[in-house]
Amino acid sequence: MSQSTRRGFLSLGVASGALLGALRPSSLLAQAQTVARALGRGVSAYGERSRFETTTRLLRDSRHPEASSSRTPLQDLQGTLTPSPLHFERHHAGIPDIDPSSHRLLIHGLVDRPLELSLAELRRLPAESRIHFLECSGNSGALWREASVAAAHTTRGTAQSTHGLTSSGEWEGVPLSVLLNEAGVRPEGTWLVAEGADASRMTRSVPLTKALDDTFVAYGQNGEALRPAQGYPLRLFVPGWEGNISIKWLRRIEVVDRPYMTREETSKYTDLLPDGRARRFTFVMEAKSVITHPSGGQRLTNPGYHQLRGIAWSGRGRVQRVEISTDGGRSWEVAELQGPVLPRAHTRFRLDWTWDGSEVVVQSRCIDETGYTQPTREELIAARGLRSGYHNNAIQSWKVSPDGTVENIYV
């Protein structure tokens, strides 16, 4: 049955019995209890969520929280934008406390006119805002290891613990091409080195082609200034590429004639292959998806109607299609995509589903506009071995047991 036909039946009420079977009958008493009898709280200068909403980031158990990570609760989010307080974090030397009035961005190296820009000067320049995901290349890394190691994760994996190092937002700033044009890149300039103002001096090389394409210098996140954990007051934003290269607390861009082989692109952020060679400069986060409902740690209370929901994304452009399997990958059905589908952005997908109460394995796979299809875990291991933790974009499998519990498994 096609999606449009199914929706037609729903609106005609044909499937209403199935839906109502999942709901309690109405109670007049319960309705009366929802009406306040006294004045509520007054207006406030800066908002907060309901005290009944308690979802939080998941902190990595670490003796050094300054060099650690926290993960977005994907299973609890709606739509596609990550609330700024729930955006994942990954820091290497803690969050610096930067006064924007004294912060400067230096653009120098192989340029005709070196620039030193204040925040006020940057905010005067032509701005753009764009919705993009940001994913750490280590996202889902633990799911890649040897089966014996990975077994430890099989019962405790949740969408947050396995996939929570991706988040999304609406970012505003100045296209880097505007700044580089003002500085005047010399013909021999082919790469940039971008440096952060944190204590680790996080440094990455960026090819000039990407810098001039869609890279920007961002000061806004979801309608307000960047959060300190996201680089306040200024970060590089390199759409679709591994999160580490979008340098936070950006203080310096040097135009150079080659990649500088910094620590973060030699000892880290390279992908070790089975034969001992390393893939270097693996920038793009390839097509990926995860079902967030049902997902690990959740429990389906009863058989019948459930909507399968999740997010898909690709660093190469738009999500073209998401397919869902409820039989461990033997057959696939096309999910409905929530528009507008934006390039290099989390895309919400949904599929109406009737769970018959038996054991099932649910999976999603993303196909992006280049035709690339998200691989199975088996295919990924065949191509890249078991020595790497970066760029794991394999299909995620969740097992729903007859008692309704959901857990991470490998198929």
Between 305 and 390, CB nearer to Co ion: 390
Nearest distance from residue 290's CB to Co ion, in Å? Answer: 19
Between 172 and 265, CB nearer to Co ion: 265
Between 213 and 224, CB nearer to Co ion: 213
Distance, CA of 280 to CA of 138 (rounded, Å): 15
Residue nearest Co ion by beta-carbon distance: 282
Between 163 and 399, CB nearer to Co ion: 163
Distance, CA of 170 to CA of 238 (rounded, Å): 13
Please tell me the number of Cα atoms within 13 Å of 267 on its side-chain side.
Answer: 3
Between 282 and 298, CB nearer to Co ion: 282
Between 89 and 242, CB nearer to Co ion: 242
Distance, CA of 97 to CA of 21 (rounded, Å): 53
Between 282 and 314, CB nearer to Co ion: 282
Positions that interact with Co ion (CB under 5 A): 137, 242, 282
Nearest distance from residue 282's CB to Co ion, in Å? Answer: 3
Nearest distance from residue 192's CB to Co ion, in Å? Answer: 17
Nearest distance from residue 388's CB to Co ion, in Å? Answer: 9
Nearest distance from residue 213's CB to Co ion, in Å? Answer: 18
Nearest distance from residue 12's CB to Co ion, in Å? Answer: 50
Between 109 and 138, CB nearer to Co ion: 138
Nearest distance from residue 55's CB to Co ion, in Å? Answer: 29
Structure tokens at 354: 């009737």
Structure tokens at 202: 């996080």
Measured in residues, the chain has a length of 411
Phi, psi torsion values for 159, nearest 5 degrees: -55, -35
Nearest distance from residue 134's CB to Co ion, in Å? Answer: 14
Q: At which residue do the structure tokens 């001992």 appear?
A: 276
- DSSP codes of every residue in 159-226: HHHHHTTEEEEEEEEEEHHHHHHHHTB-TT--EEEEEESSTT--EEEEEHHHHHHT-EEEEEETTEEP
Residue 38 buriedness (CB in 10 A; 0-12 / 13-18 / 19+)? exposed
CB 69 within 8 A of CB 166: no
> How far, rounded to the nearest angstrom, does the alpha carbon of residue 127 sit from its chain's CA centroid?
23
Strand partners for 366:
322
